[in-house]
Amino acid sequence: MMLRLPIYMDNQATTRTDPRVVEAMLPYFTEHFGNAASVHVFGHRASEAVDEARAQIATLIHAEPKEIIFTSGATESNNLAIKGVASMYRRQGDHIITTQVEHRAVLDPCRRLERDGFRVTYLPVDGFGQVSPQQLADAITPQTILVSVMLANNEVGSLQPVAEIGAICREKQVLLHTDATQAVGKIPVDVEALGADLLSLSAHKMYGPKGVGALYVRRRVRIDPILNGGGHERGLRSGTLAVPNIVGFGIACELCARQMTEEANGCRQMRDRLRHGLLEELDDCSLNGHPEQRLPGNLNLSFAHAQGEALLMALKNVAVSSGSACTSASVEPSYVLRAMGVSDDLAHSSIRFGLGRFNTMAEVDYVIEEVTRVVRHLRAISPSFHLTSSPRMSAVIPGGEPFFPQEN
């Protein structure tokens, strides 16, 4: 069977919209084009479709439909959660806790709040990229109003102990927000089991359309809106709802719920084959992130003496990334890897492979061959490779001193 090139393995950045999702969306661009806020029959049809999608999303994360607020994506959801809580609860306290390895959609709102007088604690992580629940508990003060810890890291795929953190926050009566954008649809997510008060998710990470996301807000939690207008979404997010995208989001969630176990097993098998294949073929190749407690389709590897950017350019028929899509324009080494104690040289040589629903084992075998060929070529022309005769590196990089990225 002939492979179709190029091969896409960057599913942490975005996923292909499933054809079944597109099919469900199309009528809402044409015959069912009404505004969901309108009172006539066209508006009612759109409103019913939105309600159905809200229920589909709520079912996937074990929430109630009225706890789902539609947004334009996870960036807006994170901003609404963090800034909304900060504004609503400022009289109770001015302290927020997060980690050094959060997505910029969490770190940047926290920095903005610091300029507005809030105090933010950025917790370090270990060599696997995981935060210590005990350190988090010790960081909570009477002035702490919010903890924000991602469920799964977008770069290295490591899972955080959010359920344990949720229990701590519940005991301390502190609100917990988790950016679950990379996790929802790929692993089971239960807001009750996690103890989450707010949870962010986005459709385009789970085979839905770009431009739509959601924020789960537990019923007892009050937040201030960051957008004011027509009072849509219980007054928490004003703006005309993107009905076709919302319909697609709902269908994407339904499909993920239906095939999550089988899909996760398939991605895990492809990931492990890719990992073992590359580690067998190449010396000085190391895994970033936890070897087991990670997303099924995420693989982040460092190839010593082979610059990541050069690797990306040379892999003409393989679409992968050198880190987070939102920071890929930066020439600085990944702040996530540096927080984990990875050296700048190895951070610069890291590649993130994102396996997903539409990948195959045949593609994995092709990628093993191509990456091996390109890495060997880059090392052959690398002065540092010839000056170094180190023994084979460990499969996991140990932790080091924490690092927090400076503002651009």
* Residues annotated catalytic, as ranges: 326
Rounded Cα distance between 29 and 49, Å, is 13
Burial of 383 (0-12, 13-18, 19+ CB in 10 A): exposed
- Using left for φ > 0, alpha for ψ between -120 and 50, and beta otherwise, residue 185 falls in left
User: How many residues comprise the chain?
Assistant: 408
**42 token code pair:** 């066209």
Helix (H, G, I), strand (E, B) or coil at 46: helix
Rounded Cα distance between 85 and 224, Å, is 7
CB 99 within 8 Å of CB 122 = yes
**131 token code pair:** 């935060």
Q: Which amino acid is at 245?
A: N
CB 149 within 8 Å of CB 171 = no
